[in-house]
Structure 1
Amino acid sequence: MAAPLLHQLSKWINSGVRCLPPQVSRLSAIRLNSNNVITKDSWMKPLLEIQRKKQLEGPPPEREPTKLLMVKRIKRLKGRPHWEKSIMKELCLDGPKYKPTIIKNTEVFCSKLRIVKHLVEIFPVTFPYGLPESEEDYQHCHIQDNGEFVVTKKIMPKIIENVTLDETSTVWDIDRETIDKSLKKKLADFALTKEYFPPQYLYPFNEDGKEYRYSKEPRDPSRKKTWH
C-alpha cells in the first residue's frame, strides 16, 4: 500500500498541487513553502540549513589523545578464532568479563585492539582532578567505569598567622554571615518552629512494638493484650 501512495504523491508534487487529499494529509514529513505549495526541493531545506550551520561553526577542535586506554571484554571467547584468543590473552583480557585492563595508547596496541574491537569496550583514561602529586594521594585513587581517574587529594589546614582579636570580641562571637547561613538552612529544612512544635509520631499499625501506649489501662507484662 505504501508504494502506490508514494507514486501518487510524486505525481501530485510534480504537478504542483496546492492541497493534498485526506489520506496524505497526515504525512508530517512534507514541508510547504510560504505559498503553501509543495515543491521538489522543499524537503531539502532543513538538511541544507543544518549543513550550513556546520560549515559556519567550522571543524571541531582537535583533542589531545590520551596516553592510556581502559579496555573491558564484553563478549565471551568461546568459539572465537585462535588469533583473537591469542590477542586477548596477550592483552590480559582473557579473565573475567567486564574486568578493566589498562593499556598504553600506542600504535602496536591499537592495531591489536582493532582486530578484536567487536569483543571489547574501550574508554580513554582521563584525569579530571589532575595527576597525583604525593605518595599519600595514591592511597585514595580509583578509576571509574567511564575511564575517569579520580584523585582524592589530602586537604591540608590553612594556617593563618598574626591573627589579632578586638578587646571586646571573644571566641564565642558569631558573625552575621554564620547567622544568615544557619537561618537559611532552617528555612530550607522547614524547621523554623521545630523547637516549639516537636514532631508527634503516630504508629497506627504498631510499628514500634509498643501497643500499651494506645491503651488507658496500666500495662500488665504477664497478660498479652491485642493492640488493634
Structure 2
Amino acid sequence: MEQKTSYNYDFWGAEAELTKIKWFGLEAIKKVRISKKYRISEIDEMLRKKRTITEAKLLITAKKAKVQTPFVYDVDSKKRTIIMEFIDGTKVKDFLKSEEFDSKVKRKLMEEIGKKVGLLHANHLIHGDLTTSNILLRNKKLVFIDFGLGKFSNEIEDKAVDVLLMKKCLTSTHAEDNKEYFISFQKGYVSSYTKGDEILKRALKVEARGRHLKEEDVISEYIF
C-alpha cells in the first residue's frame, strides 16, 4: 500500500522523478524513470525497464559488498518504479563545505569514501554518478545513493571513469581542497581494492587523453 505524505519532497532529475511517500508506515522514496521523447518508443521502454532493474540490483548487491545503500522495498519494472528507504542524512558535499569540521576530519572522510568505492569496484559494481552529492552521512555512516546510471562491469576502464567522476566533482565543487581530498580518496581506494593501483593508472591515462594532456602533466595528483 502506498500512502502519500504531506512532505514537500518532489524532485525531477534528468533520469527520474523522486517523491517522498509513506510505504506501509515507513518513510520511503518513490523513484520513477522518466520517458525520453527523443528516443524511439520501443527503445525507451526497454532502456527504462533495464535500468530500473539494474539499479535495484546494484543497491542490493552493494550491501553484500559492505557498502550501505537504501533498502529496496519494491520494484515494478512495468511502471519503471523503485520504492526504497528514505535516508535522512547530510550530503557529503555539504559536510565538506561546512566550517564546523577541520580538514583532518574531512580528509579522513574522503579516505573512508575511497575504501567504500574500492569495495564496490572489487565486486564489479560501477556507480556511474560518483559525486559528493550522491553520498550521504547518516549516524556517522556513509550511505551511497542514486545508482541510476550504474552498471555491473569488471572492465578497468569503467572503474577508472568512476574514479575520475569523483576527481572531477572534487575539482569543481570543492576546489580549495580538491587535491588533498583526492589523495585521501585514493589512499582509501587502494587499501580496500587489490587492483586499486591498476585502476588509478588507467584513470590517469583516461584523464590525460580526455584533457589532451601528457600523463606527466597530471601524474602528481595520483599516489601510485
Specify the TM-score bucket, using the shorter chain as the normaliser.
under 0.3
Q: Kindly indicate which of the two structures has a greater share of residues assigned to strand.
A: 2
Flag the structure with more relative contact order, 1 or 2, with Cα contacts below 8 A and sequence separation at least 6. 2
Select the structure that is richer in helix: 2
Q: Which has the larger radius of gyration?
A: 1
Instruction: Tell me the TM-score normalised to structure 2 length.
Output: 0.19
